[in-house]
Structure 1
């Protein structure tokens, strides 16, 4: 994948010292620890320190302890999903050199969602492992389709064409998912709640199936950091430096697709995390992907945990799914990014 525009105007990607980047990493780690503690303690029912300690020791004798026991895997899943989507968004923006690239905007998450909906409704899949493989296949096929559509016409795959192709594909896939649900009422309820995107009801048993895919996705993504730095210089410059451009782009995209597909399989489609996180991280740490990818993982985890906490507090005694909260936050950010980008670059 390629495009002609840089992810951000030059003024916003000034170099950062390694010391500054290390401080930002440490700050995000500290923030993540605080948010994890808040996620465990805050919800429909507030709990005290004694109940948290007891729940961590495996006790569920009181309602408060049971609430903590349910929040712990939920917090872990939010951290993993946020980290995966943050890294995937950074890779997509780096591979396409597109400031609007995001698993949601490019339709990758909804491609995974449609694949799962079709597999559940027409083929009756029920195992967690099958969900993951189907979601990864749908994410990969959609990424290829959107890139092919966005490459048509004069100028090749420009950021605006890719974004428009992704948005159009997303709208079409949403309609297809709704058609599947309407024609298969027996699975509509489960698909509808999953389609919103959330981390409620998480268990460690469910997460065990997705962890190997996330681990491979993170490993591939981090291993491609230097390749992404080369691709940022342009295809010709990267090739002149000895980089195998097609291989680098394919490997990085594979890592992003694994992360998107696995996350969508267990959480449902969660939009805008992969759009917001890379832009914020570039402001903090510059454009070196060796620092940008780890920082994106931490910031993505913080964002999704914070969104989950906000969803619980806003709708007490009920809750808003995290996918709804990120959509409320991400839509204005998307508009801001589009307005700040120069029209000729899009």
Structure 2
């Protein structure tokens, strides 16, 4: 048994739902090592081999039509749904905040509010996105979603290499990202925790090592969380599924999973993205075949002998 992540590296529900469901029906996908193209793995997606699926998305609307089939086939799943409302200056190819809130509510009503986790992340401060801006946005979305989720996850932006390049371009467009004084971040953290608590929502951080967050009431979280899976789906998982994923950052609390995604394949074009550029995503999307066991490109079986996990 294993947990499937779909996906940290791209938005499967938004762009690759047809491919994913074809892989579900076939019972496997093939993953190509991004650092060694000849190394491939054949990963089982059979229901009896999948403990749960964790979907990561900013727009699951295109995937909603497949949820009944997934459930009928016996799969357990929950969503990490990012909704922070920056607008086109930071998220140029996403639907409006209002549309994504409506989608969030529809998804929650369909599969249950405990299976849709709201992510307000990353928190980015700029000359356009001040502390007051975030207080207003967080409060607005929180009040809209308070009856449609049980947990909110927050994080503060990390300057990954690709995001740093985009931040420099944003500066040329008049949007300057900055690191505010600790007192500002601390005050906002306490604000988020208090607002969430008032409405009965659990609040956690994602891959953060900020000492005062627990004091504020924001505990370190696990986005891929064996304990949460046990709770939501009434399961008892083997100890090996509770182990930290050592391939993730030290601050990340996620347990081990198999990710179906590929970097540089997302088409949202978010300026803070660590998983690739919009330009590379467009080029790779042209190579996408929804009938291929590979997310990008075709597989003829000749490059390497895949191993079943």
If the length of structure 1 is used for normalisation, what is the TM-score?
0.24
Q: Which has the higher strand share?
A: 2
Greater share of residues in helix: 1
Q: TM-score, with normalisation over the residues of structure 2?
A: 0.25
